[in-house]
Amino acid sequence: MDIRMKNMTLCVAAALAVFGCGKEEPKSEAQAPAPAAAPAPAPAPEVVVKIGHAAPLTGPQAHLGKDNENGAKLAIDEANAAGIELGGAKVKFELMSEDDQADPKQGTQVAQKFVDAKVNGVIGHLNSGTTIPASKIYFDAGMPQISASATNPKYTQQGFKTAFRVIANDVQQGATLGDFAAKKLAAKKVAIIDDRTAYGQGLADEFEKAAKADGAEVVAREFTNDKATDFAAILTKIKGKKPDVVFYSGMDAQAGPMAKQMKGLGVKAKFLTGDGGCTPEFIKLAGDAAGESNYCSLPGVPLEQMPGGAAFREKFKKAYNADIQLYAPYLYDAVNVMIDSMKRANSADPAKYLPEIGKTTYDGVTAKVQFDDKGDLKEGPISLYQVKDGKWNYLETMGGAPAAAAAPAAPAPEAAKPAEKK
């Protein structure tokens, strides 16, 4: 409790500091050149380009939100240091960071705030639940939006030409999970359970398609809900079908107890789940059932396997004296993709650089970023993990087009055994 409070205060303090700097800097710089400008004619005028960033900066996900913000800020600082010019004017990038509390209602308010403040583009939000409702507001305002962590397919399926993401979505994830079950786990029979939420249902459908295409038989398709604790009946039914793999599409609060009940009922299948269950919480809730028969997936690539990942980690550590939590490298790429598009359009005007985002080909630290016509990452990579010694251990990465630098490193995952991941 104390630790959490301390973290919160730190976060708030840090957020204030960031804000304070952001507000003061232009003032001091505006004043500084003024006396100097008097004798000599001013150099090219400086234009301020504001980029909005939204994530939960308070509450239980505050550490992830702060991590996102730092990733974005690092890219902004580097762009400012590089002295980019757009349309003949020197540009100063500014990050306008807002707290959406991971709450869809708050998310739309933040979105409206960005539109009213006439920011030049938005990076975020962190959660699918906030990103999707906010994307409508950005679309109506013609405001480009790049999310680096919202994976729900709906986000890019609304036909909004302003919405992009630099992370694989759940369609890609579901297909990879299906391939993994059928090919790597050599499952002939699979059972699928989903929690009837938009996320769970979507991911399960994609998993089913891919597993069937790979020749696996779906012996059971069962359902529960995101508040349930008793899975004995459906697991018993599944036990009778003797599957090799049970796939659960939902969150860790159900996945953990489900793995435990599977063990209690003597279901001898491997347990596989998506990113919703890929958390330390799963291991806590599964208790003694959290053994090596449990697998999960996360969109993206672990930093160790990323082209330029090690260099990014160093830069990040140096700038913030903190370790990367989760999505910071993706945020870094998202901001760079936006700035890269502005450079190619030679303008920070949303109407002018928006068409350029879709044409992006950018070697990021996470992947080679190219968008399909919906704004999704082309061939997003998905990483798989297995429980070992009470922790999720990196197994391998499937799918996706890693950047050029990753090509020679491709065999590396086999060589670099999971043990290396701390």
Partner 1 sequence: MDIFIQQIINGLVLGSIYALVALGYTMVYGIMGLINFAHGEVVMIGALTSLSIIKLLAGTSLPGPVVVLIGLAGAIPVCMALGFTIERVAYRPLRAAPRLAPLITAIGVSIVLQQVGMLIWGRNYHAFPGLLPTTPRHILGAQITDLQVLIVVLAALIMAALILLVNTTRIGRAMRATAENPDIAGLMGVDVNQIISITFVIGSALAAVAGVMVSANYSIAHYYMGFILGLKAFTAAVLGGIGNMGGAMLGGVLLGLIESLGAGYIGDLTGGFLGSNYQDVFAFFVLILVLVFRPSGLMGEKLAERA
Applying CB under 8 A, among 31, 45, 81, 227 the residue interacting with partner 1 is 227
Site for partner 1 contains 102 (CB under 8 A): no
- Give the residue with the Cβ less far from partner 1, 265 or 416: 265
- Give the residue with the Cβ less far from partner 1, 196 or 391: 196
Q: Cβ 257 to partner 1, closest distance in Å?
A: 5
Per-residue binder mask for partner 1 (CB under 8 A), 6-45, x = binder: ----------------------------------------
Contact 371, 270 (CB under 8 A): no
Contact 221, 172 (CB under 8 A): no
Identify which of 169, 200, 361, 371 has the alpha carbon closest to the alpha carbon of residue 273.
Answer: 200
Piece in contact with partner 1 (CB under 8 A), picked from 23-31, 89-97, 147-155, 278-286: 278-286
Per-residue binder mask for partner 1 (CB under 8 A), 231-270, x = binder: -xxx-xx-xx------------x--xx--xx-xxxx----
Site for partner 1 contains 391 (CB under 8 A): no
User: What gap in Å lies between CA 341 and CA 355, rounded to an integer?
Assistant: 8
Q: Cβ 236 to partner 1, closest distance in Å?
A: 5
Applying CB under 8 A, among 118, 184, 268, 284 the residue interacting with partner 1 is 284
List the structure tokens of 238.
């599944």
User: What gap in Å lies between CA 303 and CA 293, rounded to an integer?
Assistant: 24
Q: Cβ 1 to partner 1, closest distance in Å?
A: 9
Q: Cβ 233 to partner 1, closest distance in Å?
A: 4
Contact 187, 211 (CB under 8 A): yes
Contact 255, 279 (CB under 8 A): no
Q: Cβ 237 to partner 1, closest distance in Å?
A: 4
What's the chain's Rg over C-alpha atoms?
23
320: left (phi > 0), else alpha (psi -120 to 50), else beta? Answer: alpha
User: What gap in Å lies between CA 87 and CA 56, rounded to an integer?
Assistant: 35
Q: Cβ 249 to partner 1, closest distance in Å?
A: 13
Site for partner 1 contains 323 (CB under 8 A): no
Query: Helix or strand or coil: residue 371?
Result: strand
Q: How many residues contact partner 1, by CB under 8 A?
A: 31
Number of residues in the chain:
422
Piece in contact with partner 1 (CB under 8 A), picked from 147-155, 277-285, 379-387, 409-417: 277-285
Contact 360, 370 (CB under 8 A): yes
Neighbours of 331 (CB within 10 A): 30
- Amino acid 248 reads Y
- Which residue ranges make up the site for partner 1 (CB under 8 A)? 60, 196, 220-224, 227, 229-230, 232-234, 236-237, 239-240, 253, 256-257, 260-261, 263-266, 281, 284-285, 287-288
